[in-house]
Amino acid sequence: MAQVISTGQITIVDLYDAPALNAWISSSQTTRQTYNNTTLTYSPNYATTPQKLTLNLTRAGGTGSLLGEDVSGVKWTKIVGDKSTEITSTTEEDIEFKGSTNNSVLTTKTNVPTANNAIIWKVEGIWTDPNTSLPISFQATIDLTLVQLAKASIIPNVYAPNGDFFRNNTPSSLKVNCDLYKDGSISSGNKKFKWFAADSKVVISQDADAGVGWRKITAITGTSGETVNTGFDVSTTSQGVLTVFPDAVINSQTYLVVLTDSAGGTSGQKVKQYITLKDMDDPIMTTVESTNGNILKNGSGSTILTARLFQNGEEIDSDGKKYTYKWTKWEDGKMIPTFGGAGTAHKLGKSLTVGNADVNSKANFKVEVEA
């Protein structure tokens, strides 16, 4: 089934519409800590190696950072349970402080509390469009979570040591590691890993441990998609490592690992864990251009609508050969089911000719772009 990757439509254009912003938070270390209830230690320990959270702000369709004189009112808030605390300190000796350009970096020396198992960090602020002087709000959040060890006989810890998102196909790959903890420490005994990717096209279960909607990952080598270091359900004494390449993640992709212990008194026990990787690529923006504007006078004339795609500030698929363009017609908020002919609601093509016969007082033409 074709996947809709972008949509566009044409109405009366307001040249002063506010641009869309992309805001997200990146971290200097893994956002998932482990806590050993036997030794009472954290790994990593933010108290000794502080966690640095960085605000990233770009314009949708652009590559450059918007941080600078046009950004104001940046505020960091720590949320633990139902308690919210704004961080106002800029003193490096404090356990939490903000700094750098526009206070875009938050440094925390606070470990995730064992009573809550999570800290949510929120950053918000205002970017003023230098072209229109319009203030535009932005907001982003990131979760710091805690896995407590020695509370169960076996515990999986799944984490992305080099980050959990791609941006414009960078880095060239991301790794997802899975460690098995037994009695508060990493097990070096035999174990098996089954890795799966969430996939709605899988309508028949490929493995009983995952079920419908999960695709098995079996490749051990390759430069695209996903690979695993040990194979599928193969005994190993090492950790499980899933390597994910940028083409495998569109917007976001969730992975499942089923870990089976094969050593000692817990042999045969299975545990599951999930992780989601994100795609922070500049979005594909669709604009619709009309050769004769958006008004046909006195029931005569025609115009040609053309869908143009932009990504990273540059036009893509200018010849209309990479993607499929499906045009639909809407009147009074309802789609016309016969616009493309009897039983067909759409017309195909990068461009669409609209004549006076297609417009009864007012009509809206929408284009969906499919890969």
Amino acid 229: pLDDT: 96
Amino acid 11: pLDDT: 55
Query: pLDDT tens-digit profile of 47-63?
Result: 999 999 999 999 887 77
Closest C-alpha among 199, 166, 181, 169 to residue 32: 181
In a domain, 258, yes or no: yes
Specify whether 145 is located in the same domain as 225.
no
In a domain, 112, yes or no: yes
Specify whether 316 is located in the same domain as 267.
no
Is the pTM of the predicted complex or chain greater than 0.85?
no
In a domain, 3, yes or no: no
pLDDT tops 60 at residue 351:
yes
Query: pLDDT tens-digit profile of 159-187?
Result: 999 999 998 788 999 999 999 998 778 99
Specify whether 360 is located in the same domain as 261.
no
pLDDT tops 50 at residue 15:
no
Task: Give how many domains the chain has, as a whole number.
Answer: 3
* CATH code, domain with 74: 2.60.40.10
In a domain, 177, yes or no: yes
The last residue of a domain, from among 255, 279, 303: 279
Specify whether 210 is located in the same domain as 294.
no
In a domain, 68, yes or no: yes
CA 49 remoteness from chain centre: 27
CB 328 within 8 A of CB 4: no
Closest C-alpha among 303, 350, 285, 359 to residue 324: 350
Specify whether 245 is located in the same domain as 299.
no
Contacts of 265 (CB under 8 A, 6+ apart): none
The last residue of a domain, from among 237, 261, 279: 279
Bridge partners, residue 254, by sequence? 276
In a domain, 314, yes or no: yes
In a domain, 219, yes or no: yes
Amino acid 135: pLDDT: 93
pLDDT tops 60 at residue 237:
yes
Amino acid 236: pLDDT: 96
Specify whether 121 is located in the same domain as 54.
yes
DSSP 29-58: S-SEEEEETTTTEEES-TTTS-EEEEEEEE
- Look up the domain containing 133 and give its range: 21-149
Neighbours of 288 (CB within 10 A): 20
Specify whether 275 is located in the same domain as 294.
no
Query: pLDDT tens-digit profile of 98-141?
Result: 999 999 999 999 999 999 999 999 999 999 999 888 999 999 99
Query: pLDDT tens-digit profile of 263-321?
Result: 877 889 899 999 999 988 777 889 999 998 888 877 678 999 999 998 877 899 999 99
Specify whether 110 is located in the same domain as 57.
yes
* Percentage above 70 pLDDT, the chain: 94
The last residue of a domain, from among 249, 279, 309: 279
Q: Report helix, strand and coil shares of the chain as percent, to nearest 5.
A: 5, 50, 45
Rounded-to-integer distance, Cα 256 and Cα 26, Å: 23
Pick from 18-22, 99-103, 337-341: least confident: 18-22
